[in-house]
Structure 1
Amino acid sequence: MIDQSVFDEAFELFEVDFSCGEDAVYTPALVLWALLSQSLFKEELRSCNAAVTRIAAWWVAQGRVVDNNSGAYCRARQKVPDELVAHLVRTIAGRAEQSSDLAESLDDEQAEEMLTPRAIAEVKSKPVTGRVLMVDGFTVDAADTPENQQEYPQNPAQEEGLGFPIFRCVSLISMATGMLVDLAITPYCGKETRETALLRQMIDSLRPGDILVADSYYCTYWLLAMCKARGVEVVMKNHHKREGHPDDAVRICRGQRKVVWSRPQHQSW
């Protein structure tokens, strides 16, 4: 599923080709590995010095002693663009999705063992032609630096100087593999910073046959219309401000009915 070619193709695509000589210490692959390792640790082990120590330890295991030069590592790290990391995340998630067994149907015995009630088992017994993706939002506190405060201001409800810069994020997660399919990031507040606006930024990540699972916050006319235009099905709870049992609803069977939504005022986008 994941081999060296995945990374070689990414490095070539983003023209990352520093330190290719035999005596090179901070190769693109090692720098990427160390960069990702920093996100897995806390406090001192997250520092560039700690990352350089891990690289040095790896080289020692290969029978070579290298200098613990954090400056050289930091300069090399700046040559690995964020877009390369995002590309790798999407590529690996796509490969994992292709190797999953989501499209394989279950027989009655398997379905009965795995799922209840029977109605759910009957759904699971049918193959899914596309991906099942869950969309949800979250926030992340960033380092309290002047640069972050300017680009990602703190919660306006907090007094100035008492809060941290905040990223608002919306993710698309594969429910077959649990892997990140796509991610959108914006400041916590301001124009086009709501979760629905971030999902619109990722709408091209949805493919015909996909099933989008979301909470009631995303249940808007425009999102459903955009998904329908792309051949994407949606599963989400009705928005709490919308009538769940309108008088003009047509009953299909127990728990199912057909409701017609009128298009709201046209949006500029």
Structure 2
Amino acid sequence: MPHITKKTVLHQIRQFKNSIFQFSHLPFSDILSTDALDLIIEHSESSRDRIFTPLVTLKAFIFQVLSTDGSCRQAVNHVLSERLYEGKLANSIQTGAYCKARQKLPQKQLKQAVESSGQALHQQAHKSWLWKGHNTLLTDGTTVLMPDTQENQIDYPQQSNQKPGLGFPIARIVGLISLSVGSVASYAMGAYQGKGSGETSLFSQVIGVIAENDILLADRYYCTWAIIALIMQQNSHILVQNHAQRKPDFRRGKKLGAKDHLIEWEKTKRKPGWMTQSDYDALPNKIVFREFSVKGRVYVTTLIDAKKYHKQELDELYTQRWIVELDFRSLKTHMKMEMLRCKSPDMVRKEIAVYLLAYNLIRASIARAAKVKKQIPRKISFMTTVQIFNEGILSLIVLSEKGLKYAIDGLLNAIASIPIGQQKRKPEPRAVKRRPKSYPLLKKPRNKAREAINS
């Protein structure tokens, strides 16, 4: 945006960083870097709007996805509150200008901001948060729904067993999430069904993010020759449960212990659909990996040193794979990403990117509090941090440098003061007392139902 001066841009970036608790005296002080914010400003479409600049719009968008209401009106009201705190003129609370400004944000650069912030937080994890010196990533797939518009249906068609007008467009997302700090290091999204839309196809788009010496925990769906070979090719590691169709035979291979051995797996003749033939041909004809059993559960791993990586320890590590389900629950249920709001595919992709960016910023605040207070990030309440984050944004705007340091220290103390998993409650029935309102299900497209009422 060439009409904005460099001094103004730097001021906006500094304000943005202050609002997300990113200060130089704190750990993880540059998770969302100046370069990433510069790229978002640079690639935003030009606008004469002096209120909804790219960073003001992005901050309002982040607040919107973190808020309990989740509406554009609440985001605009938040901008109004910020301007009044700063002694500026009030903006209109009509949402039109904000919605147009959101459309001007660059989707590619938003995704890059998600991945750069998530990877930076993952790579800077404190050594005490690692497993035997290894940083660990979790992967899995999930789905999200979006408004039933013609544009969304073209890019993300509803499930084929649903009648037209009665379902919702649906997208599949596969994410790489850090076990130690919970940040989203990378993600890929596509239609729910059709060629190239499966979990492993989407996973192939993010596999290159797994760094050397990192461990990937995944479910048995990822126990394929191609995935294991690619992981080994980039000097990373994987721990997965054996695929149900592969029957282990512990009489074969090099024995490492009871039901623990090294085996050789030959390349399959048929390549997976998500790989090019040249990439598949470049992989070795055989790979050697470890297979072991603990309490009837059979695992496959590239961590072949049985003395350094005892199979009982690996079994305990794998029990943490289910944490990825809690992370998706935080996004979809607590942050309400399960049903998106945007009505075009381009805005849907931006909305998902902003959800994941906001999620990473919350995880960064948790990591800061954990590092300062010598705690484990995964043992600090996510939703408490969201609430403190939302309330803290406004209070940080008008404070001086000394006041900022005092306030942020108090906010980090508050974040670290609410651990999870410590509550002791009596068993409760899995039932609700409040009855749902007795509205009938919509059994015909809404426009036809509307015509029937008016006829």
Normalization by structure 2: what TM-score? Answer: 0.50
Cα distance between partner residues in 2 of 1:7 and 1:59 = 24
Give the equivalent residue in structure 1 for 2:5. Answer: none
| 1:186 partner SS | strand
CA contact (8 A) 1:2 1:92 kept: no
Give the equivalent residue in structure 1 for 2:57. Answer: 31
Q: Which amino acid aligns with 2:266?
A: S
| CA gap 1:18/1:154 in 2 versus in 1, 3 angstroms | closer
Give the equivalent residue in structure 1 for 2:180. Answer: 176
Cα distance between partner residues in 2 of 1:2 and 1:75 = 31
| CA gap 1:159/1:176 in 2 versus in 1, 3 angstroms | same
Equivalent residues, number: 244
CA contact (8 A) 1:97 1:177 kept: yes
| 1:234 partner SS | strand
| CA gap 1:165/1:19 in 2 versus in 1, 3 angstroms | closer
Residue 258 of structure 2 is aligned to residue 254 of structure 1 = yes
CA contact (8 A) 1:11 1:17 kept: no
Give the equivalent residue in structure 1 for 2:228. Answer: 224
| 1:46 partner SS | coil
The structure with the greater share of residues assigned to helix is: 2
CA contact (8 A) 2:148 2:165 kept: no
Give the equivalent residue in structure 2 for 1:118. Answer: none
Cα distance between partner residues in 2 of 1:193 and 1:55 = 38
Q: Which amino acid aligns with 1:11?
A: L
| 1:225 partner SS | helix
Give the equivalent residue in structure 2 for 1:127. Answer: 133
| CA gap 1:36/1:250 in 2 versus in 1, 3 angstroms | same
1:67 corresponds to which of 91, 110, 129: 91
Question: How big is the alpha-carbon RMSD for the aligned residues of Structure 1 and Structure 2?
Answer: 2.5
| 1:97 partner SS | helix
Give the equivalent residue in structure 2 for 1:93. Answer: 118
| 1:261 partner SS | strand
1:137 corresponds to which of 141, 144, 149: 141
Q: Which amino acid aligns with 2:173?
A: C
Cα distance between partner residues in 2 of 1:254 and 1:162 = 55
Point out where structure 2 has 5 or more consecutive residues left out of the alignment. Answer: 1-27, 277-455
Cα distance between partner residues in 2 of 1:203 and 1:221 = 14
Provide the identity percentage: 32
Cα distance between partner residues in 2 of 1:102 and 1:157 = 49
Residue 217 of structure 2 is aligned to residue 192 of structure 1 = no
CA contact (8 A) 1:153 1:188 kept: yes
Q: Which amino acid aligns with 2:147?
A: A
| CA gap 1:225/1:98 in 2 versus in 1, 3 angstroms | closer
Q: Which amino acid aligns with 2:106?
A: P
- Which one scores higher on RCO, CA 8 angstroms, separation ≥ 6? 2
1:156 corresponds to which of 153, 160, 175: 160
Cα distance between partner residues in 1 of 2:45 and 2:84 = 22
Give the equivalent residue in structure 2 for 1:12. Answer: 38
Normalization by structure 1: what TM-score? Answer: 0.82
Cα distance between partner residues in 2 of 1:76 and 1:181 = 27
| 1:239 partner SS | coil
Give the equivalent residue in structure 1 for 2:340. Answer: none
| CA shift for structure 1 position 199 | 0.6
